[in-house]
Amino acid sequence: MSFATLKKNRNNFTRLAEELEKTQSPQSNSSSQDDRMWKPTIDKTGNSYAVIRFLPPTEGEDLPWVRVFNHGFKGPGGWLIDNCPTTIGKPCPVCESNGELWGTGSQDNQNLARDRKRKLKYIANIYVVKDPANSDNDGKVFLYSFGKKIFDKLNDIMRPQFEDEEPINPFDFWNGANFKLKYRTVDGYGNYDKSEFDKTSALSDDDSVLEGIYGQQHSLEEFVNPNNFKTYEQLKERLDRVLGVTAPSTNADYDVREAPPAAPPAFSKPSFKESPTPEPVSSNDDEDDLSYFSRLAEET
């Protein structure tokens, strides 16, 4: 949509709320360092603080975020690090294999399925209001990859549970709200529980400034473009090699003799100046996996 249309429709975010509803239920790109991606920097105490603003959909796109799944695990034949086709509604041999493992009822097999499960990430455009660790980022537009914990914060402000709370569209230029990202290391795990939205405010009172920011936003379509996903057959071939079902070929996607990459390139946990700390998996995530694997087991 044009900037003028965006401003005209700023108070109507029914569609966004509907999409949030869809993404709450479980569902059946890969590049090297991406300079478009903003990443919080953890200090020596294991903490990080920044103020960001989630931005509206880019022109030609309906939603201000995309949801992506990927797999990243090591087997006897090396590493499998790939986008999961369920992201775009297609069957995935890795997920099917996980369903078979889950259906055996064996605790060891179910633990394997958990290790190989889909990893969930969301990607959105953000404006960095304040990044104390990297002040050069202040006032710039980036892509931001985040997990379920922060997405739940977005959901809570758009769909409040109490009658004295007004729903807010956090992606809105005029009536949105800055997000105070507060990362802590708790018991060795990353924690975003203290992150919160500020009171509603316009990102700027000058529409020409907002239009300039709007023009700098990045398209999200590439992250769900089918061209960035292996075919079922290609992914199955890779899975068989990694699991040791077939011998590795000379033109394998990853050389099993080499050390694997530290994390999936496009949808990995953020890389920090200090040692990265993984975000804990919530109980809701585990329940989603249980339901998803159980459905797959019933279908096989």
CATH for 268: 3.90.198.10
- Which residues, 6 or more positions from 198, have their beta carbon under 8 angstroms from its beta carbon? 51, 177, 178, 179, 180
Tell the residue number behind the tokens 């977005």, with chain if given.
154
Q: In whole angstroms, how large is the CA radius of gyration of the chain?
A: 20
Supply the pTM of this predicted model. 0.74
Q: What is the pLDDT of residues 20-59, one digit of tens each?
A: 655 544 333 333 578 999 999 999 999 999 999 999 999 9
- Distance between CA 162 and CA 144 in Å, rounded? 29
Q: What is the pLDDT of residues 107-155, one digit of tens each?
A: 999 999 999 999 999 999 999 999 999 999 999 999 999 999 999 999 9
- Distance between CA 276 and CA 272 in Å, rounded? 6
Domain count, the chain: 1
| pLDDT of 293 higher than 80 | no
